[in-house]
Structure 1
Amino acid sequence: MCPPISGAAAAASAPSSSNRAGTDERALEHIPNDDLSRNVYSYAANNLHPLILAHSLRVYLFAKALAEREHSDWATPDRLPLLFTACICHDMGTCASHDGPQRFEVEGGDAAVSLLTHHGGNVSEQDKHEVWVAIALHTSRGIAERISLLARLVRLAVGMDFKLSAAMPLTTAEEVQRFEGLFPRGEIEKVLGDAVTDQVLGKPDDEGRGVKAPGASWPGDLVRGKAENPDWEGVNKAF
């Protein structure tokens, strides 16, 4: 088990004062109807940028639809809250409450484990680890798809929302249109790319670029993209 960093548990259990998005009744119609999912959603809604929250909700809908088509255990009522937690928390490391010393994928995994610990009742350590792995590896192409079924679902669902060629055959144009109609994407690519990059650049070089954005990583690619195009104001060219 990869334990949360010191302080993450307290942050994940305490209500946020930022109230960035608040609870959206429309979202509550499309998430699992259990206490864990509602608590995790409330925390995400009060901490994530609204467009990153909408992206995370779409990722959940894509992952759920794929799990149902494949008759996966992750689509069953007892596993669905864990799938939801993995999807809704996969970018939690981009928010100020979880801008810790590790790369954002790891911080997001730690946040999810803390939420599961405080709100998950009898969620096993193995299930917490499954969720952590799915989040921590969601940008690791070729690894996430094979390390576990949950990590595969999250990785492919992220790919569907960003219309990556490897994932698009697993969804439909109608599905994409429906999910984007429910939770509009806006400028998610710019918002997410800037959020990851700004966190890294806000840390000292040895801490930020070496730990939060190691060379062989998606955050590292984004930081290089920013450095190579410092005056560019559009979507990070390395996104």
Structure 2
Amino acid sequence: MDAYGDLPFPWTSLTLKAMRLARSIEHPAVFNHSMRTYLYGRFLGERQGLLPGRDYDDELLFLGCVLHDAGLSDRGDGDQRFELDGADLAAEWLTEQGVPPERAEVVWDAIALHLCRDIALRKRPEIALVTAGAGYDIGADGPALPPGYADRIHAVLPRLHGAIVGQALAKPHKAPPFTVPGELVRQATGQSWPTWRDLVNDPGWNDYDGYTGTLSGSCTSPAG
């Protein structure tokens, strides 16, 4: 693909179709982020000694990366959290392309778990590196890129504007409190979140006084 120069994308018939699908349904900012996610995920994998074709399936990694935010598109905008909507869309599309269920399931997991950093990073590389790459693109928390590499990437995949808040404002249930989409909406709108006491008392239990429990962990690590 001449447009991407010598950037190391794994071009196959399926990855080209997936890229075209993502580009056709997503905001350019989301598409560019998804493509950068692959490059950074691959880079972080190399820093861990993981090589494509030897330690993981490069095609599956790319599919998970390029489709990981498909739930933010109009086509993928269902009634679940966007990462689940995107995972369902990707799995359905891959099945239509004749991809075996066990391969489609890896992509589904990679997309569905990409905001659950602590869980995803303990999974197989095709899943873990989607989360790692998406997080790196947002915060660049990790090893430094080779000199000039970020400039090469951003020359063809510039950083634009996101789409999570707009979708969540239209369907508030897609951005519940204490999730990444919920936090982005809170920051954008200044709205306040309920306290733990509010949540416990809301169903009418009225037994908060003296309660010493704590919230269990949730999928709130920033990735994208």
| TM-score tier after normalising by the smaller chain length | 0.7 to 0.9
Please give the TM-score of this superposition, normalised by the length of structure 2. 0.74
Give the 3 Å change call, closer, same or farther, for CA 53–28 of structure 1 in structure 2.
farther
Choose between structure 1 and 2: higher helix proportion. Answer: 1
* Secondary structure of the corresponding residue to residue 143 of structure 1: helix
Give the 3 Å change call, closer, same or farther, for CA 54–156 of structure 1 in structure 2.
same
Of 44, 48, 55, the match for 1:66: 44
Q: Contact 1:66–1:171 (CA<8 Å) still a contact in 2? A: no
State percent identity of aligned pairs. 34
- Please tell me the residue identity of whatever aligns with 2:183: D
- Please tell me the residue identity of whatever aligns with 1:197: V
1:183 aligns to what?
157
Q: Contact 2:83–2:114 (CA<8 Å) still a contact in 1? A: yes
Give the 3 Å change call, closer, same or farther, for CA 196–169 of structure 1 in structure 2.
same
- Please tell me the residue identity of whatever aligns with 1:89: L
Please give the TM-score of this superposition, normalised by the length of structure 1. 0.70
Of 131, 148, 151, the match for 1:155: 131
Is 213-222 or 28-37 further displaced after alignment? Answer: 28-37
Cα deviation code 1:144-187 (max 9, x no counterpart): 2123322220111112211343xx2264453323222231213x
Q: CA deviation at 1:228?
A: 0.8
Distance in 1 between residues matched to 2:24 and 2:6, nearest whole Å: 18
- Please tell me the residue identity of whatever aligns with 1:162: I
1:226 and 2:188 aligned: yes
- Please tell me the residue identity of whatever aligns with 1:228: G
Equivalences, count: 192
Give the 3 Å change call, closer, same or farther, for CA 164–34 of structure 1 in structure 2.
closer
User: Which of structures 1 and 2 has the bigger CA Rg?
Assistant: 2
Of 112, 115, 140, the match for 1:136: 112
Q: Contact 1:49–1:95 (CA<8 Å) still a contact in 2? A: yes
Give the aligned CA root-mean-square deviation in angstroms: 2.7
1:17 aligns to what?
none
Give the 3 Å change call, closer, same or farther, for CA 151–170 of structure 1 in structure 2.
farther
Q: Contact 2:37–2:137 (CA<8 Å) still a contact in 1? A: yes
Cα deviation code 1:178-204 (max 9, x no counterpart): 222231213xxxx22xx212212213x
Cα deviation code 1:100-123 (max 9, x no counterpart): 00111111111211221122x3x3
- Please tell me the residue identity of whatever aligns with 1:178: R
1:48 and 2:26 aligned: yes
1:76 aligns to what?
53
Distance in 2 between residues matched to 1:221 and 1:115, nearest whole Å: 30
Q: Contact 2:68–2:86 (CA<8 Å) still a contact in 1? A: yes
